[in-house]
């Protein structure tokens, strides 16, 4: 398993954009037979909403499928790998024809919304 971290303490430098572009590229061009997971630690949840859309993010939040909920759960009892996968929200691959036909499945572990 390979990991790539995109981070900076400064805001507005393109971290979320780079993360989304990199996830799209890896899922569609480089990673045959492999999955791409984006872990969004930004309280603005920019990468999450870009990849999932507002509706799917709201569904994830409503279902408790967020990084914060996963970590709270981890504090009470260690999670198994199977249990941890339940916190992921998937952006399904595009089906059919059109300009977004290239979009492949990407799994996202989203953060809570910044209040």
pLDDT for 55-98, tens place per residue? 999 999 999 999 999 999 999 999 999 999 999 999 988 776 66
The average pLDDT across 30-52 equals 86
Considering only residues 93 and 48, tell me which one the structure prediction assigns the higher pLDDT. Answer: 48
Asked if residues 112 and 62 have their Cβ atoms less than 8 Å apart, the reply is: no
| Token duo for residue 80 | 């198994």
- What's the pLDDT score for residue 31? 57
Domain segments of the chain as ranges:
33-109
């Amino acid at each position: 398993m390979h990991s790539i971290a995109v981070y900076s303490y400064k805001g507005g430098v393109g971290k979320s954009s780079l993360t989304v572009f990199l996830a799209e590229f890896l899922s569609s061009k480089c990673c045959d037979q492999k999955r791409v997971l984006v872990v969004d630690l930004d309280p603005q949840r920019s990468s999450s909403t870009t990849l999932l859309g507002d509706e799917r993010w709201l569904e994830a939040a409503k279902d408790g499928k967020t990084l914060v909920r996963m970590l709270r759960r981890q504090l009470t009892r260690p999670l198994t790998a199977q249990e941890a996968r339940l916190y992921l929200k998937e952006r399904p691959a595009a089906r059919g024809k059109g300009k977004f036909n290239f979009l492949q499945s990407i799994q996202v572990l989203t953060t809570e919304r910044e209040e």
